[in-house]
Structure 1
Amino acid sequence: MSKKIVVDPITRIEGHLRIEVIVDDDNVITDAFSSSTLFRGLETIIKGRDPRDAGFIAQRICGVCTYSHYKAGITAVENALGITPPLNAQLVRSLMNMALLFHDHVVHFYTLHGLDWCDIMSALKADPIQAAKLSFKYSPYPINTGAGELKAVQKRLSDFAKSGSLGPFSNGYYGHKTYRLSPEQNLIVLSHYLKLLEIQREAAKMTAIFGAKQPHPQSLTVGGVTSVMDILDPTRLAEWKSKFEVVAHFINHAYYPDLVMAGEMFANEQSVIKGCGLRNFIAYEEVLLGRDKYLLSSGVVLDGDISKLHPIDESLIKEEVTHSWYQYEDTKEVQLHPYDGQTNPHYTGLKDGESVGIENKIIPAKVLDTKNKYSWIKSPRYDSKPMEVGPLSSVVVGLAAKNPYVTEVATKFLKDTKLPLEALFSTLGRTAARCIEAKTIADNGLLAFDALVENLKSDQSTCAPYHIDKNQEYKGRYIGQVPRGMLSHWVRIKNGVVENYQAVVPSTWNAGPRDSQNQRGAYEMSLIGTKIADLTQPLEIIRTIHSFDPCIACSVHVMDFKGQSLNEFKVEPNFAKF
């Protein structure tokens, strides 16, 4: 007899996400549904505004990847007006983007996702001396893993446990059957978890040096950047470079070694190594290294075939709302291109049903009306195909493009873990790809810094002039690669103000519901075939969804909670805070 499991909310993410799955008698997931329970309407707010304000408003879409939407809003307007910012401005934007990618990727693994791989309580059983010795297996310069440092970390954890409150480590599924790291390895990861609290501050400062502050930097403007004095100050340039080197060192000698360790130990854990579901990937070029030279590649890979790289046709990017809590008005089209996109709420609610309760018994519950509408997220499609976006897509496209930077790091990871290429197409591979992307930037990002310094010797321009003709209509877009994948903003300008604005963000691509052809989105497909060891502790579901680094605040554009309370697995929010 099939059973329904509801995980609501999925925590340690940005925003509100609910996952419902159907399992068979062997506890294998046969169907899955992804739903956002949050409506925002940021796109609607931008309508009627001066287009020069679009970036400042758009960055409020998210409090984590604020720079991504800021840059997207500014660049979309520049594209509409036909503006090409000076190379100095483009390179400064690239440096800020690298800082965000650094920050987002390391915070994701340790703060948001690491506890899905690391059994923290197991670290209490570790031998700190043996753990210190083990750390040299993975790096010649291990970070924060001296025997004394590990003993201190272990004592902090022990004091937490003795106090009766584990704080940020509360409510974990400790002892779960699918954990694979040894006590010593868990202690190493925990030590890096704590060290990250210092490192993420350095990454944030990298953005603030050229952006005035982080989050919500303020130095981008239509036409270029305003941080002129910082760009021309050798001290500020040196400060940015030194912080880059600090974060890059952590990536190379803590983050990357921890992923290699996980790759070795989880190689035979089917819940993380099985196929990734969707094998359609799309990514866009990003991280400008010099004039017209990018670190990350563009393209489309279909059916996991990296022998063929297809160019992106922007006209094939469309969204539909068949199973989303929206409706399209004044059109018979099922899919709309973002230039013509609509964001009209049409909430139809949940329905009465049943789910598995905490005691593994069937109980009444409010559940998604999956035959109709069931999410505040739209369903983006490329040529009517569901696609996965994110670092895994970036790595897969990079391999297909024979990108030397990406290929070198990806090949090294597979060699160090002794994993086959196919292992990348999995939950483990998706998590590793985020590290591969971070290491690719750590190893090559200073090329952009050097290009900026060199260009400043002969050119100190930072902003291009422009004019907005109120009697002319404009349209433009930004497409780029941000921490969670391919992001695009699309704008129409009429009478000098924004007539229409649509953002197609990474988590919309990944978390969207079924489409009119009943094709599942990336989250939903990634769960199919996963075996759940314990229905009352669905760690496998949480781990797989976390591997995408969900940002639901970005992907929807409030529900009334006055209805009946849900019976489901509650992954308490305090588990996500530190």
Structure 2
Amino acid sequence: MAKRIVIDPITRIEGHLRIEVNLDGTKITDALSSGTIFRGIEKIVVNRDPRDVWAFVQRICGVCTHIHALTSLRAVEDALSIKIPKNANLIRNIMTAALHLHDHIVHFYHLHGFDWIDVVSALKADPAQTSALAASISNWPLSSPGYFKDVQQKIKTFVESGQLGIFANAYWGHPAYKLPPEANLMGVAHYLQALEWQKEIVKIHTIFGGKNPHPNYAVGGMACAINLNDNDVINMERLNLVKSKIDEARTFVDQVLMPDILAIAGFYKNELWGGGVSNYLAYGGLPATDINDPDHFLFPRGVILNRDLSKVYDVDLKDPNQIQEFVSHSWYKYDDKTIGLHPWNGETNPSYDGPKPPYANLDENKSYSWIKAPRWKGQAMEVGPLARFVIGYAKGNQEMKGLVDEALRKLDLPISALFSTLGRTLARALESKYCVDHLAGFYNELIANIKAGDSVTFNSEKWEPQTWPKEAQGIGFSEAPRGALGHWVRIKDGKVSNYQAVVPTTWNASPRDLKGQKGAYEASLLDTPMAIENQPLEILRTIHSFDPCLACSTHILNKNGQEMLRVRSR
């Protein structure tokens, strides 16, 4: 008889996620994904000035902050037919690529890496052999025996104190760990180095956006001025600093991240479970010229069904029959919960009818999540780096195809290996390489444009509300680090009349729909082997491979379900 296992909360993610699985022997036979906190940003921005909305919806997430602002700007600009200057598009691309790099590297080393790296095992490593291992895969300078010995001593101090600190609350010694001690020591050392590196790449956002997190923006372009000879705005000194951070990022990706991923994958390449729903969706992003020109996106657009790479379907985000959100198993109310709503007609009306906390289990036959169930033409989808690379591969993107083929060649794996937990993790690293190479290209194009005499970053033609139509609607989209992101806005009499955001984790963490289709998290856990039922490392490994980013809260409840605080925003 199957045993029910509950993990609540899932740690090392942004937000609040509960996973329940049925374990029959050593295999997972069913899974349930529940977002356990309500997001109401969509209701907060109604009746507000659409030029201000980006600042509110950017707070949907405290991690991938830039991308929600960007997507909101695009929604309003689409509704009002605003075309942004070339420099603004390049700066937005630079900030997006920098965000992907920061997010992916922080995710691997600080959120996901310890699903593969056993910290305590590193105490058994020979620092000299660790140095030899590091030298065999990279020219990274921080790889001497003495350096690894110092890192090992830091770990030992943590362990002997009985307080593992940043390495606490994990399943060290679990049989699912496959790395030798020397590879574990190298991984821990690079975890610490990534902590130092990640605070440097965000300086790019600070230069162009004034601060990080939550940089500043403007509908119509960017809220920054460029003058190469003026110390009060973005000048050549600040642009040179951007260049230096791009160079540092490329070195870190080439000499640390990529060698680590390939080395670690070599030890896990026979464990190819966690494939998921088999359908992949990308809206496209990083426009080379204009957001309305999807043929020149560096992130491709399309849909693949059933892992069939011979056919890529088109995506139309304005078609009411393509993107729809369902709530048959979610704590929201529609007039008719049997139908899906396109986001322009979407509703965010909370209606909790679940069990009163604390509770033992949720019932998958009823509503069980604060996450809606988005579908593309009725199909459950996976979004994210794997989706982007699979679609790019199928559409003949030579850079993406080359990165995939080279990695799989080194690992001696077929293309089908991508459809797994390991493949999802590999795709995120390959995307880091893809982004860092194009980041330099965006920068060079920006510098060339400025030197040619164009320093314009903002289009003010339709800034004033009297230039707007009485009613308008728009769609903003992008490829966030975690996947396809869309914001849909309706504007009436100069104010927002409806707003809906469908975020990547809404796609991936969605509950079942009326047809019984599981979301990507739920489907990816099926047939996952588990060695120790009360140490669910394998579950964490697969869920973390999606890099969950659930919404920030608007209500606070105590353990008995009683409301502790309510904040009214005017």
Partners of 1:319 and 1:410 in 2: CA distance: 32
Name the structure 2 match of 1:516: 514
> Would you say the 8 A contact 1:527–1:541 is kept in 2?
yes
Which of 266, 269, 272 aligns to 2:268? It is 266
Name the structure 2 match of 1:342: 347
Q: State TM-score, norm by structure 1.
A: 0.91
Specify the SS of the correspondent of 2:551. helix
Q: How does 1:5-84 map to 2 (within 5 A)?
A: 5-24=5-24, 26-84=25-83
Amino acid at match of 2:186: I
> Would you say the 8 A contact 1:399–1:406 is kept in 2?
yes
Please say if 1:410 is aligned against 2:404.
yes
Specify the SS of the correspondent of 1:319. strand
Please say if 1:328 is aligned against 2:334.
yes
Partners of 1:95 and 1:23 in 2: CA distance: 45
- The one-character-per-residue Cα deviations of 1:27-75 (angstroms, maximum 9, x if unpaired) are 2111100001111301100001000011010101111111011111111
**Sequence identity, in percent?**
47
Partners of 2:160 and 2:437 in 1: CA distance: 42
Which of 371, 382, 393 aligns to 2:376? It is 382
Amino acid at match of 1:372: K
Name the structure 2 match of 1:250: 252
Deviation at 1:404, TM superposition (A): 1.6
> Would you say the 8 A contact 2:227–2:455 is kept in 1?
no
Name the structure 1 match of 2:567: none
Specify the SS of the correspondent of 1:553. coil
Partners of 1:564 and 1:493 in 2: CA distance: 36
Amino acid at match of 1:462: T
Residues 288, 557 of structure 1: CA spacing in aligned structure 2 closer, same or farther, 3 A cutoff? Answer: farther
Please say if 1:391 is aligned against 2:385.
yes
Residues 564, 339 of structure 1: CA spacing in aligned structure 2 closer, same or farther, 3 A cutoff? Answer: closer
Amino acid at match of 2:456: S
Name the structure 1 match of 2:167: 169
Partners of 2:475 and 2:427 in 1: CA distance: 27
Name the structure 1 match of 2:239: 237
Partners of 1:304 and 1:110 in 2: CA distance: 29
Residues 310, 230 of structure 1: CA spacing in aligned structure 2 closer, same or farther, 3 A cutoff? Answer: farther
Name the structure 2 match of 1:432: 426
Please say if 1:461 is aligned against 2:449.
no
Q: How does 1:55-454 map to 2 (within 5 A)?
A: 55-139=54-138, 141-218=139-216, 220-229=217-226, 233-269=235-271, 273-290=272-289, 293-314=296-317, 315=319, 316-329=322-335, 334-350=339-355, 366-454=360-448
Residues 505, 435 of structure 1: CA spacing in aligned structure 2 closer, same or farther, 3 A cutoff? Answer: same
> Would you say the 8 A contact 2:338–2:514 is kept in 1?
no
Residues 97, 230 of structure 1: CA spacing in aligned structure 2 closer, same or farther, 3 A cutoff? Answer: farther
Partners of 1:481 and 1:121 in 2: CA distance: 37
Name the structure 1 match of 2:565: none
Name the structure 2 match of 1:576: none
Partners of 1:407 and 1:471 in 2: CA distance: 44
Partners of 1:508 and 1:446 in 2: CA distance: 32
What is the number of residues matched between the two proteins? 546
Deviation at 1:137, TM superposition (A): 2.4
Specify the SS of the correspondent of 1:380. strand
Partners of 1:550 and 1:223 in 2: CA distance: 31
Structure 1 unaligned blocks of 5 or more: 353-363, 566-578
- The one-character-per-residue Cα deviations of 1:434-470 (angstroms, maximum 9, x if unpaired) are 1010011122321111111122214222111214346
**Worse overlay, 440-449 or 282-291:** 282-291
Deviation at 1:495, TM superposition (A): 0.9
Deviation at 1:230, TM superposition (A): 6.7
> Would you say the 8 A contact 2:356–2:560 is kept in 1?
no
Specify the SS of the correspondent of 1:15. coil
Partners of 2:227 and 2:325 in 1: CA distance: 41
> Would you say the 8 A contact 1:67–1:217 is kept in 2?
yes
Structure 2 unaligned blocks of 5 or more: 229-233, 563-570
Deviation at 1:333, TM superposition (A): 5.9
Deviation at 1:334, TM superposition (A): 1.1
Amino acid at match of 1:325: W
Specify the SS of the correspondent of 1:225. coil
> Would you say the 8 A contact 2:17–2:33 is kept in 1?
yes
Specify the SS of the correspondent of 2:348. coil
